[in-house]
Amino acid sequence: MGNTQGIESTDQGDLPIVWRDSTDPETYYEAVWGRVFNVRRDTKRQPRAVVRVSKASHIKAAVDLANKENCRVSVRSGGHSWAAWSVRDDAILLDLGNFREISYNDDSKIVSCTTPTHGKELNEFLRTKGRLFAGGHCPDVGLGGFLLQGGMGWNCKNWGWSCEQIHSLDVVTADGEEIHCSANENADLYWAARGSGPGFPAVIVRYHLNTRPLLELYESVYIFPISEYRKVLQWVIDVCPTADEGTEIVGTSRYLEGEDEISMIAAFTSFKPNREEAEKALKPIHDSRPSNSKFEIYCGTTSLAQQYVNQGEANPKNHRYCAENAYIENDADVPAALEKAFTTLPSKKAFSLYFSMNPTSRRPLPDMALSMQTDHYFAIYTVWENEADDERCTNWVRSTMREMKKHDTGSYMGDADFQVRGTKFWSQENGKKLMEIRRKRDPKGRICGYLDSGDKSGIKGLANDFDKDETNGPDSLAPQLETLAV
């Protein structure tokens, strides 16, 4: 099939398709891996073909082709999955990177966009409308995967999950049907799209998203020596419940440029209409700050554009990554539980992050697949350059996660790897409902689901449970394939 130019004419129309068995290796590799952010890659996984989607009709044609070929379909929006969930052995990979459309309805304030659209791109467009969408912090994360996983977006602790702002969506089902999904149409898929992660049993063509008024941004930043870690993180935790509802709160540890000691950083970003209101919001935090800081900024002017620059620098391209995360139980001694993660980083570009979720974590969630949260979200982003450091860096992540397991109540899908660690992503009830929707909507497993160890889960999906092999801890490779009741 196919030809060396990578374009195959099929009865579905002219698809821009690269076939594994008839394309030169360099072209094939670029099609498969060129848009994968993480350069630590499992090249043993070899898709049967890659469709470079540039219009909506390509998606339906590709799904129809997969049904004809009796093979699976995988989907890539932004390419930021740390485990490269889109690259699946012998599947047809739909790379949506060239399918970029944005439109806006002035009356409803709803923005419509295709899934590879990233937050920076979307907010540059919305700025001209005086509107904002609280998408991902990293500038080039596609909305497709980000929203499917729930979307821990800007000021999530107060505004809620980004997926709550999905008004509706257009999808192509596993059997090639083009349908619209909302609270009133195909409500099961609308429910699943808000938190199912890569197990969503259809291909999303377009999101229709609610927006909010554009605000100004101000920030207070406090940098401390790592010796002050416990005092600073406890301060961050303590100010969260009473902080202003327009203020995002983050604690991180990292090596600052040119320094050989880890620093502890507390950052408070306030979304307000003007400086006066921002100062009012940030002053109680400033007045309560611990002593011994190395550097301070109080209510400095910033912008989404500058924040995207900062996030991009923290997540450099052409690097190797291993990420993991956990929700820590509400009543845990959080500074003690996270001490190794924050004080023993394995590389100069790695960082650990504490993201305050209170008060969002204390309110009932809407009826949607997303159902896992606590007051305390923690993530490790281990970043390095040389393949020789793979084992050392990944082992540090896994041993660190093992040590905090007794405080771990579950995880956020976006910073997880199902091949390595079994954990909870939904409540028991929601996890069971989601797997039932998967089986109903895609009984043949046409759409690739969760990439577990060996890619064996298929229509059964994830067990939604912690690793059973306690001797190996969270880095156990034993697949979690318990079949939920049909």
Instruction: Give the domain ranges of the chain.
Output: 8-95, 102-213, 216-415
Confidence (pLDDT) at 8: 40
The pair of structure tokens assigned to 404 is 């905090």
- Residues in CB range of 63: below 8 A, 6 or more apart: 73, 172, 173, 174, 175, 176, 203, 446
Was domain 216-415 assigned CATH 3.40.462.20?
A: yes
DSSP bridge partners of 208: 112, 168
Other C-beta atoms within 10 Å of 55: how many? 12
Fold match between domain 8-95 and domain 102-213: no
Domain 102-213 matching CATH 3.30.465.10: the answer reads yes
Q: Which of 342, 337, 338, 339 is nearest to 352 (CA)?
A: 342
Q: How many CB atoms lie within 10 A of CB 84?
A: 24
Task: Enter the pTM of the model.
Answer: 0.93
Q: How far apart are CA 240 and CA 243, in angstroms?
A: 5
Whether 265 contacts 254, CB under 8 Å: yes
Nearest to 141 by CA among 90, 93, 183, 79: 79
Cα-Cα-Cα-Cα torsion 56, 126, 245, 197, nearest 10 degrees, comes to 10
What is the torsion angle, in degrees rounded to the nearest 10, for the CA atoms of residue 157, residue 163, residue 164 and residue 170?
170
What residues have CB less than 8 Å from 402, skipping those under 6 apart? 473, 474, 475
The pLDDT score that the predictor gives to residue 474 is 35
Please tell me whether residue 93 adopts helix, strand or coil conformation: strand
Q: What is the mean pLDDT of each run of 10 residues along the chain (486 residues)?
A: 35 80 97 98 97 98 98 97 97 98 98 97 98 96 97 97 98 98 98 98 98 98 98 97 96 97 98 98 98 97 97 96 97 96 98 95 96 96 98 97 92 94 96 97 97 93 80 33 25
Quote the longest CA-to-CA distance of the chain: 70
CATH match for 8-95 among 3.30.43.10, 3.90.25.10, 3.40.50.1360, 3.20.20.80: 3.30.43.10
Q: Cα 323 from chain centroid? A: 11
Please give the pLDDT value at position 468.
67
Residue 422 one-letter amino acid = G
